[in-house]
Each structure stands twice: as C-alpha cells, then as structure tokens.
Amino acid sequence: MVVRRILCVAEKNSISKAVAGHLGGQYQTGNIRGTQYVKNYSFDYTFNNSWGPSSVVFTAVSGHIMQQEFPSRFKNWNNTDPWDLFEAPIEKSIDEKNQPIANNIKQHAQRCSILYIWTDCDREGENIGAEIRQIALSANPRIEIKRAHFSNIERTHIIQAANNPLLLDDNQVNAIESRMELDLRTGAAFTRVLTLSLQDMIKAVDPELGIISYGSCQFPTLGFVVNQYLRVKNFVPEPFWSIKITHKKEDEKNKKPDQRPITVNFNWVRGHLFDRMAVVLLFERCLNAKFAKVIKMERKPTSKWRPLPLTTVELQKNGSRFLQMNSSRVMAVAEGLYQKGWISYPRTETDQFDREINCQALCQKQTQSREWGPHAQGLVNGNFRQPRRGTHNDKAHPPIHPVNYVEKSTLSHEEQKVYEFVVRRFLACCSDDAKGEKTTVAIDYGAEIFNATGLIVLHRNYLEVYPYEKWEDSQQLPEYQVGETFIPTEAKMTEGKTSPPHYITEPELITLMDKNGIGTDATMAEHISKIKERNYVESRPATAAGRLAAASDEGDTAPATRGRGGARGRGRGGRGGATASARGATRGVEEFVPTTLGIALIEGYENLNFSTSLSKPFLRKEMELQMKAICDGQRTRNDVVQENIERYRAVYMRTKDQMSVLKAAVNKYIVEPERSNGS
C-alpha cells in the first residue's frame, strides 16, 4: 500500500509539538541543523477523510519567514530621494536567520504530496501560511496545499480540525500584504525625510540622538502622550459648589442599649455645579423647606461581577497596576512561563473560553497550592461556574490561563507574581460573583434630591481568591420609611475646585491604543518602548492621582452597584471609582511625559494644519477597516495600497513644503527649551 506523505507546518514549535502529541501519540523528534527552536515530529496518522493512512512530518516556522526590503540601490539615505520609496520595488526574501527553517520545509516538501498548513487562524497566520506555501512550492510545484482551522489545542478540537482540511484565504493574505507594504513605504520615507531634515538642529543639543522615526503605530502612540501632556499644561482649575446633608438617626432595627445613632451622609444627585449663585439659591430652598422627606427606601441584592477571562491587554494593564511591572516586562515574563509550559499562549485577544476547554480540570490542577488550593478545591467540589464570556474572540488563541501547577519556589520573583496573577484570575473567572445587599435612601429636601447608599457584602466568592479587587462594607443605614420626614442634623454648602489631570499612565495608554487599534496584543508594549528609545517620551513613577485613575476601570462592576460612593463621573476633574486599598496596590504604575522633541514633532504636525494628521490614530483605524474590506472581498490589495500611497504622498509634500513650520516647532522646544511639566 502506498502511504501518503503529508508535511504539516505550524506557526511555532509549541503548536507542532502539541498537535503531534494529539494526532501521533508516539512521535519521533528530529533536530534541524542551524536552529534550536523548531523540531520535526514524525508519526503515522490515519486521517478520517479521503487521505486515510498517512506518514506525517509536523514541523513549524517561527513567525514570519520572509522579510521585505528595498533593493540595495535605494538603501543609501544620502543619494536616494525618500520620495522615491513610495514606489520603489520591494523585494521579499527569506530572512537570513530563517534559512535553516526554510530549507527544512523545502526538503520535506520534495518528498510529500500534501502541504498542510497549521499556522494560527488569524490574518497574520494566514499570511505566514502563504509564505510557507511559496517556499514549499519552490521545491515541489505539484504539492497540494491545505489549511487546518483550529482555535485551541484541545484534543477533540484538533482531531476535528485535522480531518477537515480547508484552503488558505488569499483575501486575508492580501490584507496583510497591503499593511506591510504601506508600513514599510511610509515608515521608511518619513523616517528618512524627518531625520535628514532635522538631525542637524537636534544633534546640536543632543548629540546622542540618532534617528527621528515615523511609524503608523509609534506616532499615534506618541500623539496620545503629548495630547494628555497638553491637557495638563493647559489646565485651569475651576471652582464648583455642592450641598451636603447629614442626619443622625437611631437604628430602630438593631436597637441595643448602648447603640449610638448612625450618621447618614446624603449626597446631592446633581453632584456639583459650577455656578455659585445657582447653588446658593437651591441651598436656600432646602433650608426654607426645613423638613426632608424620604421618597425611596430600597434594599436589594447586588453583586460584583467576577472578572472576564484574561486577554493580553488586560494582563499588561494589570501588570502595571498590581505587579509593579511595565507592559514589556510582564510580556517577557509571561513568555517565559509559556515556554516552560506553565501558562497558555500569552498573546491573545480572546476573552471567552471555547466549550472544548475543560476549565474544571484546570481548576483541579491548582488544588495542590497551599495559597489558593483550598479555593480551587471548593470550585471542584461544586462551586465551579463556567466563566463569563466576553465579546472578543480572535479565533486563534484561548484566554490566558494556567495549564499546569508549579511550585512557586521554583520560579523567579517576577515569574511568581505573573503566574500567581494568571492563576488567581483564572480561578476568579471560574468562581461565583460576589454577592451583597445594597441599601438606597433618597430624600426630597426643598425639591432637591439627595441619596445615601449602604453596602453589606454577604458572599465574597471570587474575591476570596482575587485580592486585586476590593469590595467592602460601607456605611450601614438605619431603617427609614417612605413618607417619613425629618430635620437634617446638618446641611451645608461645600466648595471645591477641579483638580488637574495627570500625565498618561501606562494602563491608560494601553487602553487608548487598544481602543484605537494601534498595534496588536503582541506589539503594544514594543511601541511604547520604541517611543522611549527614540527619546520622544520619558517614563517615571506615576503621581498619586495617576495611580488612582489607573486603578479604576469601568466595566468590572454590575450595573446595580455602579457609582457606589457617588464620586464616579461627577465633576469635570473627578475620576473616582478606586478604593483606598486599590490605591495602595498600584505603586508600580508608570506615567509618560513627552520630551521636548516629542512635543515638537506632534505640535509641528498639528501646525501643518492638514486633514490627514500623522499624529492622530484615524489613519491606522482606517487602514484596519480597509484590511477588513479586503478580507471581505470588497476591495483589492492594489486599490487599497494605491489610495493610501496617494494620501501619504500628499502629507509628504506638505511636510517638505512646510518644513520651516516643523523646524520652528522643533526650534521652539529644543533650542529655547521651555519645559513646564505642571508639577
């Protein structure tokens, strides 16, 4: 019998190894001369389709294999006009360091009749698949090309995928091609023209500075930092006024001999107003009314929702908040934990677990821990809840979760922190929401409405294992009857002023990048590092205000309990939401201040007064939409590339024309430094 030979290629070694394990059970491992990260796994497998019994070699690449570059005649910065880079040819070739991997594919392709592509099922994976296809076809033009569709590496899912080969989606391949081409052309053209035009001015004061780069991700990232800097700098405090009511009342329900009356604080539903006379008039109406009347007394169950399954963006934000590590560091540590097999793949946008993933079994593995084992045991013994499902699914990777238990003492200090966070987050996802009872009393006092709220936490549930979030009892309210009237113990008009905004913190910057589609889960941290490296921004420990804001996050609380404490979303300067203890847990948060150069670049481009601003995130957002259109077959790669090149050419011409404006901006900040940090 002729046995079919099939060459399978994954995007990374961890996938080929895991899939080989599921399909082959027993497999032979072969080394590849010249690379240490990729292996060949050989085994026999009977496909449950027309392929039948087959001899399989399962290998991998390490991400992209090819690189694109301009031909050498365009490589000299001094005798190439950057303008020419908008239409210079681009050569795609096998990256020198990937040559052994490419040769390995060629060698096996010659002996196989089918190339089965197992790259990640996202757009970038589709493109990497096309690179693999090209290399295999160069060695064996008759090889048949198939593509596996899988979104996790659970056994049943993988076997299902293996038996149902599909085709590469060339629309996705082309969408990525257009992004690559535009990023290279615009990045190179603008980096060269900016560097060549401005470096003399800047080197005069900063001889260290090498290049002034432009990139479709790094520039908008810088834009966010500068934007917030300008808000801080231009801030003018504004006074506001409010009304506070207190009432001392015996708690009829829990009357004990030594019981002292409870002081209830009522907050004005209007929060505060910026018009003093208006508040004076309203306050006088309150005083004239003399009596306050209870219009609502409500006790109802409330809950604080357990967190969603962990994505990369969330891991990075929480790393800043709770683990005293910046996003680059967190990712490096998570990568190590993944390599060692303790946690799942750390680059994912997915916040929902597929049904195939047995979360309960994963909880079981954590029962050995002295610290969180008892909680995990409780889950196994009946408290387990299937995790909530978020709205994101990259269809390539599951949420980040622990895959095996490891004794903390065998890990480095930083690894311990990240591993513990991943585990606790996962166990929290599999626990029940925290449950409590919320009391709200509303009064009408001179036609103004005031509220008092109280919270009793009844069941901490997920909070038991997730100390990163706090939810604590607040003031206990005495019993009121609707219709009851009383004379407030104290009514006063208060005065305050808006406080200045803080510089942007790392979690806030990541949130903005995420919302605007700047970078991917794998690259956001790199873009932040890049603008530091380019000397566009500096980082420093955040001030108390920044840490406070960094600790607060919308979306983690059930609607019924939103605005507890009443501070959230009130004044223009107020950014409430974090508890005192959350504040203490965020010492490691970094904030970013643009350098004079960073401000000059952004301000210079703003002053070009041009509709297509390089410093704003819209261009990147639009490119994202255009890539989707290519994926949906509504636009072609060529069409999108041409349209964008025209736009960038217009910006480029404007840049050259108005170089004096850019130079003036640089001059203003650099030659006559005028730094006012507002702190």
Minimal distance in Å, beta carbon 343 to DNA? 12
Report the nearest approach of DNA to the CB of residue 602 (Å): 14
Beta-strand relationship, 53-60 and 66-69: unpaired
Length of the chain: 679
Q: Compute the least distance from the CB of residue 124 to DNA, in Å.
A: 4
Between helix 506-515 and helix 524-533 the angle, nearest 10°, is 120
In which residue are the tokens 């990259």 written? 394
Beta strands at 490-497 and 239-249: parallel, antiparallel or unpaired? antiparallel
Q: Is 457 helix (H, G, I), strand (E, B) or coil?
A: strand
Given the rule CB under 7 A, which residues bind DNA?
Answer: 11-14, 35, 37, 62-65, 67-70, 75, 77-78, 95, 97-98, 120, 122, 124, 128, 179-180, 183-184, 187-188, 191-192, 195-196, 199, 210-211, 213-219, 335, 339, 347, 519-523, 527, 530
578-595 residues labelled b (16+ CB within 10 A) or e (exposed): bbeebbebbebbbbbbbb
What is the residue whose two structure tokens read 């736009």?
A: 647
Give the span between the Cα atoms of 465 and 460, in whole angstroms.
9
Contact 659, 601 (CB under 8 A): no
CA distance 324 to 524: 18
In this structure, are residues 491 and 245 in contact, taking their beta carbons and an 8 Å threshold?
Answer: yes
Residue closer to DNA by CB (options 335, 639) is 335
- Is 196 or 232 the residue whose CB approaches DNA more closely? 196
Nearer to DNA among residue 222 and residue 582 (C-beta): 222
Nearer to DNA, 35 or 267 (CB): 35
CB of residue 236 to DNA, shortest distance in Å: 34
Written as six digits, the tokens of 388 are: 């909530």
CA distance 421 to 588: 15
**Ordered DSSP codes for 270-311:** T--BS-HHHHHHHHHHHHHH--EEEEEEEEEEEEEPPPPPBP
45, 214, 229, 345: the active-site residue? 345
Smaller CB distance to DNA: residue 90 or 558? Answer: 90
Q: Please identify, using beta-carbon distances, which residue of 335 and 479 lies nearer to DNA.
A: 335
184 or 493, CB closer to DNA? 184
The DSSP code for 344 is -
Pairwise CA distance, residues 497 & 492, whole Å: 17
Nearer to DNA, 122 or 469 (CB): 122
Long-range contacts of the stretch 646-651 (C-beta < 8 A, 24+): 647/612, 647/619, 648/86, 648/182, 648/185, 648/186, 648/189, 648/190, 648/612, 649/83, 649/86, 650/612, 651/610, 651/612, 651/614
What is the Cα–Cα distance from 430 to 433, expressed in whole angstroms?
9
Please report how close the Cβ of residue 619 comes to DNA at its closest, in angstroms: 11
CA distance 371 to 52: 49
Q: Which is nearer to DNA, 14 or 367 (CB)?
A: 14
- Phi, then psi, of 671 in degrees rounded to 5: -75, -40
**Residue 27 appears among annotated catalytic residues:** no
CB of 318 to DNA, least distance (A): 20
Smallest separation, CB 472 to DNA (Å)? 40
Smallest gap from Cβ 35 to DNA, in A, equals 7
Q: How far is the CB of 176 from DNA (least distance, A)?
A: 8
Residue 446 burial (10 A CB sphere; 0-12, 13-18, 19+): middle
Query: Annotated active-site positions, please?
Result: 345
